Each structure stands twice: as C-alpha cells, then as structure tokens.
C-alpha cells in the first residue's frame, strides 16, 4: 500500500503522495483530509443487492459526495464499474475496474495493488490532471465488450465518459439525475456537448431490453428513467 495517501471527506477524492494544501477536486482545505488508513477504518463500503448479478457499493457513513460503485458477477469473474473512495481490505476481490469517467477514481490505486485488479478508463479522461496520479492498465478509446459488459463511449459530461450495459442493467453514473420528473443532465458539464452526446444514449438504450438503471446515488426502474431521459434530449 502506498505509504502516503489522503482522502478528502468533502468529496472522497484520494490524493496520492504529499498532502496538498487544498483538494484538487473540490477545493476543500486540508483540515478536511484524513489519511487513507483513517478513511479505511471510518468508512465501511457496504454492498446492496441490485439483482442476482449486480451489487451497489456505497460507504457507511457517507463519504462526502462519493459516487456509488457497482460490482458485477460475470461468467468470467467479478468486476467493478467505478471504485469506492475508501479502501476496505475485507471486500471480495474483483479482476478489473471500469471507470465511467475521471471524477471519482476513489481508492482504485490501492485495490489495484492489493488484488492485481486491472484499471480501465477512456484515454481522453486518463489524460486529465485529476486522473494522472492513478495507475491505469488500459486506456481505451471507443466502444468495446469485455466480461460480457458492453462499453459505449458517450462523452459530454467529460470527454471520455463511458456508459456500460450488462444484460438488462445500464450503468450511467452521474450523466443524468435525479431519477423522476426533475431529472437533469449533469450540470457540471459543457451544456451543448452533454445534450448533443445524450442523443447517442437514447439510440443505444432504445435498442436494448433494459430493466434497471444504476446511477451515482440511485437505482431506478428503466422504463420511467428512459421516459424522463428522452424528455431532456427532445
């Protein structure tokens, strides 16, 4: 384990190496930082079942604005979509971590080292200064399928934003929220870009027999989510 690592309890961003004065992600002052070891002891990454193959992982207590990660049990082994901010050694290992985007890479460097998990993120997001301290095994570009999981490069919220589909589950992190009639496209995005790219999301999800949407802090039934999402793009 890296001897020096800090976690901002406002946003969950992990800082590898010397402690900076302010959080590079959210700007909180360093009195809001704990060591990664303290974070590991304070925050318990807690699984919640989504269906027979998918589990949501979130910290208890909540670690700032940390985004949910998801574990998928595939026929070729378990993987994560996104990564918790706290490093809990008691979690079941995964073989790979696939990121939706660069904002919440959590403790992926520690899980990677501990389990040998392969870290994957789109090359356009890997190039961002916030992502650069994190070791990455595969910088992908475009769409691909691995572990039976389909990855689609969408862009919009971040240049490399990628959504994933496993069987009847869609993983969209924070592209749009909250579920329901108040849904908005992520406001921390270039507005024209996220709207333009969202039309590809509509195309892709219209072709697939989806049942469930896994978001950054919610799990929603697909049909209602899809209706609200299409309204944002129309």
Q: Which residues contact Zn ion (rule: CB under 5 A)?
A: 8, 10-11, 13, 23, 25-26, 28
Among residues 66 and 125, whose Cβ is nearest to Zn ion? 66
Single out the residue of 226, 229, 70 nearest to residue 156, CA to CA.
Answer: 229
* Minimum CB distance to Zn ion, residue 84 (Å): 15
Beta-strand pair 118-122/96-98: parallel
Among residues 8 and 198, whose Cβ is nearest to Zn ion? 8
* Minimum CB distance to Zn ion, residue 4 (Å): 17
* Minimum CB distance to Zn ion, residue 172 (Å): 23
Give dist(CA 53, CA 208) in Å, integer. 18
* Minimum CB distance to Zn ion, residue 25 (Å): 5
Single out the residue of 207, 204, 205 nearest to residue 220, CA to CA.
Answer: 205
Single out the residue of 160, 111, 159, 156 nearest to residue 134, CA to CA.
Answer: 111
Among residues 28 and 130, whose Cβ is nearest to Zn ion? 28
Helix (H, G, I), strand (E, B) or coil at 55: strand
Helix (H, G, I), strand (E, B) or coil at 180: coil
Among residues 25 and 222, whose Cβ is nearest to Zn ion? 25
* Minimum CB distance to Zn ion, residue 118 (Å): 26
102 and 126 Cβ atoms separated by less than 8 Å: yes
Among residues 23 and 69, whose Cβ is nearest to Zn ion? 23
Give dist(CA 27, CA 21) in Å, integer. 9
């Amino acid at each position: 384990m890296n001897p020096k690592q800090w976690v901002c309890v406002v946003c969950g961003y992990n800082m590898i190496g010397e402690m900076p004065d302010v959080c590079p992600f959210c700007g909180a002052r360093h009195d809001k930082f704990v060591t990664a070891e303290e974070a590991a002891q304070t925050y318990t990454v807690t699984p919640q079942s989504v269906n027979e193959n998918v589990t949501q992982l979130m910290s208890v207590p909540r670690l700032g604005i940390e985004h949910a990660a998801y574990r998928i049990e595939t026929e070729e082994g378990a993987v994560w979509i996104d990564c918790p901010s706290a490093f809990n050694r008691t979690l079941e290992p995964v073989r790979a971590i696939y990121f939706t985007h660069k904002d919440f890479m959590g403790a992926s460097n520690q899980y990677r080292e501990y389990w040998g998990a392969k870290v994957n993120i789109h090359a356009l997001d890997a190039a961002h200064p916030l992502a650069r301290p994190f070791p990455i095994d595969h910088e992908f570009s475009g769409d691909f399928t691995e572990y039976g999981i389909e990855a689609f490069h969408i862009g919009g919220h971040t240049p490399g934003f990628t959504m994933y589909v496993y069987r009847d589950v869609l993983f969209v992190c924070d592209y749009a929220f909250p579920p329901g009639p108040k849904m908005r496209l992520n406001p921390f995005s270039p507005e024209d870009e996220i709207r333009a790219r969202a039309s590809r999301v509509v195309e892709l999800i219209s072709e697939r027999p989806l049942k469930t949407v896994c978001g950054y802090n919610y799990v929603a039934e697909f049909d209602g989510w899809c209706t609200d999402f299409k309204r944002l793009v129309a």
